[in-house]
């Protein structure tokens, strides 16, 4: 019996296999590219952390800083700005590792005080304990300020109870709370409630500026506070820096 190969079928099977191989190759290349990008991002964070640890000269390393906390590249920016500008009074929204970094920079300056608003009593206490562990309690006050209704213009928000803050103006402000789990534009009220208490020349740092919600906040602030010059810094989570230029 004579066997004649079905060339059409063989060609079809070969074509399908080739297509699968090409698709798998493309997928693999994409995944490899993503992996390379993520390794480059993580390397940048390790480098930032090494630079930060050197700047801080602490007796013990900083606590782990991925996830909820500010990323090492932002912490380095905060440390550099505090060491360079030597602020007298610093305000923070959302306590954590940034609190340790800011307080330590003030201690190294030998002047200034940090006021850190924290809505969650548990995290407020944890941050106080951390400050004590690092010998920084004299340089920072953790203010437990629960979120209260705040109506700003036509909008309803929940924001820190600002009545808990002492009187006086600030030279540097770090906004890393309340968390977005508290609702949309959760960080917007910082502008209408506290930008008036910043000295001319003050800097404001808004973390997570890569997120759509913070970009909306930036747009609102740009319209409502023209005396602040805005600049975006391409960090891990995105950073918006506002520079208070002068009166409206």
Give me the residues that bind ligand SAM (CB under 6 A), please.
Answer: 68-70, 94-98, 118-120, 123, 176-177, 179
Cβ-based nearer residue to ligand SAM, 227 or 237: 237
Q: Which two tokens mark 107?
A: 């201690």
What are the φ and ψ backbone dihedral angles of 99, each rounded to 5 degrees?
-65, -45
Cβ-based nearer residue to ligand SAM, 171 or 214: 214
Cβ-based nearer residue to ligand SAM, 79 or 245: 79
The Cα 191–Cα 218 span in angstroms is 10
The DSSP secondary-structure symbol of 60 reads S
The Cα 223–Cα 3 span in angstroms is 81
Reading phi first (left if > 0) and then psi (alpha if -120 to 50, else beta), residue 131 is in: alpha
Q: Which residues contact 205 (CB under 8 A, 6 or more apart)?
A: 74, 77, 78, 81, 172, 173, 174, 175, 239, 240, 241
Cβ-based nearer residue to ligand SAM, 171 or 207: 207
What are the φ and ψ backbone dihedral angles of 146, each rounded to 5 degrees?
-60, 155
3-state secondary structure of 29: helix
Cβ-based nearer residue to ligand SAM, 15 or 184: 184
Closest CB 96 distance from ligand SAM, rounded Å:
2
Closest CB 127 distance from ligand SAM, rounded Å:
8
Closest CB 13 distance from ligand SAM, rounded Å:
54
Closest CB 9 distance from ligand SAM, rounded Å:
59
Closest CB 143 distance from ligand SAM, rounded Å:
12
* C-alpha closest to that of 95 among 187, 172, 171, 176: 176
Q: Which two tokens mark 7?
A: 């060339």
Closest CB 88 distance from ligand SAM, rounded Å:
21
Q: Which two tokens mark 94?
A: 């959302």
Closest CB 25 distance from ligand SAM, rounded Å:
40
Cβ-based nearer residue to ligand SAM, 70 or 198: 70
Torsion sign, CA atoms 198, 207, 122, 102: negative
Cβ-based nearer residue to ligand SAM, 183 or 227: 183
Q: Which residue is nearest to ligand SAM (CB)?
A: 96
């Amino acid at each position: 019996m004579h066997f004649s190969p079905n060339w059409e079928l063989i060609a079809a099977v070969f074509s399908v296999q080739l297509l699968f191989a090409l698709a798998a190759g493309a997928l693999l290349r994409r995944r490899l590219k993503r992996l390379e990008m993520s390794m480059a991002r993580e390397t940048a964070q390790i480098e930032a952390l090494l630079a930060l640890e050197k700047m801080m000269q602490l007796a013990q390393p900083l606590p782990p800083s991925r996830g909820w906390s500010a990323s090492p590249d932002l912490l380095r920016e905060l440390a550099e700005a505090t060491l360079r500008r030597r602020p007298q009074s610093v305000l923070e929204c959302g306590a954590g590792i940034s609190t340790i970094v800011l307080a330590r920079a003030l201690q190294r300056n030998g002047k200034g005080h940090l006021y850190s608003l924290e809505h969650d009593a548990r995290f407020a206490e944890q941050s106080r304990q951390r400050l004590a562990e690092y010998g920084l309690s004299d340089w920072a006050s953790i203010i437990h300020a629960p979120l209260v209704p705040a109506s700003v213009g036509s909008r309803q928000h929940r924001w820190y109870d600002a009545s808990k803050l002492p009187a006086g103006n600030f030279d540097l402000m770090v906004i890393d709370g309340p968390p977005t789990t508290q609702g949309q534009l959760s960080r917007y009220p910082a502008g209408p409630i506290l930008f008036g208490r910043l000295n001319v020349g003050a800097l404001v740092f808004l973390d997570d500026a890569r997120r759509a919600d913070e970009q909306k906040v930036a747009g609102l602030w740009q319209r409502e506070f023209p005396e602040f010059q805005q600049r975006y810094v391409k960090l891990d989570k995105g950073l918006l820096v506002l520079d208070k230029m002068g009166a409206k």
